[in-house]
Amino acid sequence: MQEHLEFYIDGGWTAAATAQKLDVIDPSTEEPFARIALGGQDDVDRAVAAAKAAFPAFAATSKEQRLDLLSKVLDGYKARIDEMAEAISREMGAPLGFSKQAQAPAGIGHLMQAIKALKAFEADEIRGTSLVTREPVGVVGFITPWNWPVNQMMCKIAPALAAGCTMVLKPSEIAPTSALLLAQILHDAGVPKGVFNLVNGDGPTVGQALATHPDIDMISFTGSTRAGIEVAKAAADTVKRVHQELGGKSALILLDDADFPKAVKGGARGVFFNSGQSCNALTRMLVPLDRMDEVAQIAKETAEKTTVGDPFGENSMVGPVVSKTQFDKIQGLIETGIKEGADLVAGGTGRPEGLNRGYYVRPTVFSKVTRDMTIAREEIFGPVLSIMGYRDEADAIDIANDSRYGLSGGVTSASLDRARAVARQLRTGTVHLNGALPDFGAAFGGYKQSGNGREWGRYGFDEFLEIKSVFGWEPPPAK
C-alpha cells in the first residue's frame, strides 16, 4: 500500500491539516493500492497564500527565464514518462500500452505547445498613442478529472507557467497518484517556491474552497457539466474568471459516400478506447437509414474483436472503468437503452466473459437509436456506441446539433469539400474530418453546455492573460 499523506505547498511536501484519509482503488482489482490525505479549508488557505506570495516575483520573470524553466520541466517529464504511464494505468485503468502511447505523452505535447506559444509571445502592442499589454491573470485554481489525468493537468499547468501565473491544483481524488508524481517532477525541475501547489481532496470541500477563495483570480475546471455549474456558482460571488471544459455527447456523421467498413470500425474503436471515458468521444454514430443494418453488423464485429482485460496484460485493448460509481451508472444506462427500445447489437450489461472482478464493461453497440432516447442524450462515459439513422444531409446536421452539448463532432466523406461544408454547420468546438487526430496546436473547448474558454496551444495560453490598456503611452502627434 502506497502512502501519500502530504500535500505539495510552498515548495515542499507538508502534512495535511486534517486527519481524514481516503483509499485509492485499483479499478482492475477493486482493491486499494494507495492512501491519500483529504485536504480542507486550512490546506487550501495555506496553498493559496503561498501562490499569492510567489506571484509578484514569478510574474516579473522574463520570457527567457520561463522558457528555460519549461525546458527543464519537459526534460524531467520525459525522464519519468514510463513511471507516469504506469501510475495512470494503475489509478484509472487504461491499458499500459495506451498509457504509454497516448495518456502519458500528452503531457509532452502540451509542454511543447506552451514553449512554442511563449516563444512567439510579445506582451506589448502600440495602438495609436496607447499601450495594450498582456499580463498574467494571477493565482489560478485548477480542478482536474481522472479520465485523462496528465493531459488535463498539463494543458493547464504548462500554459499557466508560460504566462507567469501561480497555481493551486486539486486533482481527482479517485486518480491522484499521477498528480503527485507530476508535483515531484515540477519540484525537481526547479519551479520556484509557491508557484505550484497541490492539495488533494474532494470537490465539495477542496474544490468549493478554491472556487470561493477571494485570493484565487481564476478557476479552470474540467469535469461534468453538473459539477461545472456548481463551480461557476461558487465562483460568482468573487467575480473570478471561470474556464470550463465540460461534458459531451458528440456525433460522428457518416455521409453516404463514406468508406463505411473503415469509418465504422474506426468510429467504434474510438468510442471503446479508454473505456469510453473521453469527454470528446463520438458516441453517436449518424448513418443513412438504408445503411443501418450494414453499419450495425460492422460495429458488432468491431465490438466482439475488442479485448477487455487487465491493464497490465499483454493483449488488453480496453481496461476497466475507473470506479464502482461509474460502473453502476453505465450499467444503468445500458439497461435504459434496452428498456427504451434500442436494438442491442453487441455487449450489454454485466462484465465481459471470464472477468469476475474489476469494473470492466462490455463494449456495447445499440442500433436504431432515436433522438428522444436517454442513450442518445445523456453522456454515458463508457464504451457504449449509439447508432442513429438520418434521412438526408440536412437531417444528419439537425440530429447532430440536437444536444445540450457541443464539444466535438466528426464528418466522414469521400469528398473533403463536402465534409468541410458539413463541419461548418456543426455547433461544436472541434470537428474531426475523415478520422483526423487531435492537434494540440489548435484550440480545444466546447459550445453550449460543454463549457467556455479554450485549451491547447496559443489559445490555452491566452486564457491565462489579462489585457491592460495604458492611454497616453506615446506622445500625441505633433500638430
CA angle 358, 312, 276 (to 5 degrees): 60
Q: What average pLDDT does the segment 299-323 reach?
A: 96
* pTM, two decimal places: 0.96
pLDDT at 18: 82
Give 152-170 pLDDT, tens digit per residue.
999 999 999 999 999 999 9
Query: Is the predicted pLDDT of residue 204 greater than 90, yes or no?
Result: yes
Report, as an integer, the average pLDDT of 376-393.
98
Q: How far apart (Å, rounded) are the C-alpha atoms in residues 330 and 308?
A: 16
pLDDT in the model for residue 270: 97
For residues 203 and 375, what is the distance between their CA atoms, to the nearest angstrom?
27
Residue 479, pLDDT > 90, answer: no
pLDDT of residue 436: 97
Confidence of residue 288 (pLDDT cuts 50, 70, 90): very high
Domains of the chain (ranges, CATH numbers): 2-246+450-469 (3.40.605.10), 251-433 (3.40.309.10)
- pLDDT by residue (tens digit) across 342-361? 999 999 999 999 999 999 99
pLDDT of residue 81 exceeding 90, the answer is: yes
Which pLDDT belongs to residue 53?
98
Percent of the chain with pLDDT over 90: 98
Return the pLDDT at 461.
Answer: 98
Q: What is the pLDDT of residues 222-244, one digit of tens each?
A: 999 999 999 999 999 999 999 99
Average pLDDT over residues 13-20: 90
pLDDT recorded at residue 394: 98
- Cβ neighbours for 104, distance < 8 A, ≥ 6 positions apart: 81, 82, 84, 85, 88, 150
Q: What is the predicted pLDDT for the residue at 1?
A: 85
Identify whether the C-beta of residue 156 lies closer than 8 Å to the C-beta of residue 144: yes
When pLDDT is averaged across residues 310-338 and rounded to a whole number, the result is 97
Distance CA 476, CA 479 (A): 9
Cα separation of 275 and 281, whole Å?
Answer: 10
Q: What is the pLDDT of residue 314?
A: 87
pLDDT of residue 65 exceeding 90: yes
The pLDDT value given to residue 299: 98
User: Cβ neighbours of residue 225 under 8 Å, at least 6 residues apart?
Assistant: 246, 247, 379, 404, 405, 449, 450, 451
pLDDT at 17 over 90: no
Give the mean model confidence (pLDDT) for residues 314-324: 95
Question: Which three three-digit cell numbers place residue 204?
Answer: 465539495
Active site residues: 245, 279
Q: What is the mean pLDDT of the chain?
A: 97
Using pLDDT thresholds of 50, 70 and 90, give the confidence band for residue 35: very high
Q: Taking Cα atoms as reference points, which of 379, 359, 22 lies closest to residue 171?
A: 22
In this prediction, residue 400 has a pLDDT band, given cuts at 50, 70 and 90, of very high
Check whether 250 has a pLDDT greater than 90.
yes
